[in-house]
Amino acid sequence: MNSLYIMKAFVDNAQPVIQEIKRVHNDHLRLECFTFDPEDLYEDCGCLEYQSEKKHSPEHFEGPINAVYAQFGEETGAALLLEITPEVRGLLSNAVVDILCDRGEQGDIEFINAWEKSANETIYFRMDHMYYMQGGGFELCNEVDQITTDLGAGLEHITWRLGLSYLNDTIDDLIYDATHG
């Protein structure tokens, strides 16, 4: 299964809906597919970040880490689905791994064990943007399982955050077509 193909197809198929909502209701709405290099991801104030003055749009990035970004608010209100393959795990900085594994001050041992057990699998992190006085970035979502091996479940996090869960049928169709086509 080519996950980047599915992610791009999902974003492309959703664009007419996104553009119409953007035109009529929410000027801040965005849905984009990114491909990050491991060096693009960094820790900022305890959060995962990728944007800088020089790099902020999908065309500024190229690498082996696939992601879908959804924005639905001006300052806050964004979600990120981040794909981590076994090949790129070792290329991530310790600070980024600490964020993805929730290895902060408390450290969730169950989550750390899930990270270690999934070393040979492609996993997807469901993340939400948080904004704090000192900065902001992406943190693991606290409302669903933060890590999944199922791309469809990961993309459903994006549709849920956008309030467009009816697009879940599109996700199922894209995955079916990619695996049976």
Domain spans of the chain, in order of start:
3-180
> Cβ distance 43 to 92 under 8 Å?
no
pLDDT at position 103 is 59
Select the more confidently predicted residue: 145 or 150. Answer: 150
What percentage of residues in the chain have a pLDDT greater than 90?
56
**22 falls in which pLDDT band (50, 70, 90)?**
confident
pLDDT at position 105 is 52
pLDDT at 45 exceeding the cut of 70: yes
**127 falls in which pLDDT band (50, 70, 90)?**
very high
What percentage of residues in the chain have a pLDDT greater than 70?
95
Give the global pTM.
0.91
Mean pLDDT of the chain: 89
Reported as a single tens digit per residue, the pLDDT across 62-107 is 999 999 999 998 767 899 999 999 999 999 999 999 888 875 555 5
Reported as a single tens digit per residue, the pLDDT across 72-84 is 987 678 999 999 9
